[in-house]
Amino acid sequence: MSLALAPLDVSVEIEANLPCRKFDPDLWFSDSPAQLELAKSLCGDCPLRVECLAGAVDRSEPWGVWGGEIFERGAVVPRKRPRGRPRKVDVARDAELAVEVEERLAANGLETRSSVRLAA
């Protein structure tokens, strides 16, 4: 009787190198816009970014950073606004960012109109 070695579980090695596993998980669910932007930037080099984003869209994640995008109330938002009334410049910038988010989702093969709701 010979003993065969089990193949290495590559997914364990990949999971250990994911940014959301290396850094504080609270960073991806912060209330601070600056921390959420940091979390988004950390997702940029993640090998599972597209799959993470697709899964979050499918599940309609209520909040947090998933696949390099910010979800709030089940919708992808271009950025998290700080508390208080937004300045007019911020409202105009949000409109530009919404277009960028839509383009990024489309580039990842996600149809924005049917699969995810974009917050205004």
Annotated binding site for [4Fe-4S] cluster: 20, 43, 46, 52
Q: Which among 37, 70, 38, 36 has a CA at the least distance from the CA of 52? A: 70
Q: Which value, in Å, is the radius of gyration of the alpha carbons in the chain? A: 17
Binding-site annotation: residue ranges: 20, 43, 46, 52
b/e per residue 31-48 (b: at least 16 CB within 10 A): eeeebbebbbebbeebeb
Torsion over CA: 66, 53, 78, 115 (sign): negative
Residue 72, H or E segment:
strand 69-72
Q: Tell me how long the chain is.
A: 120
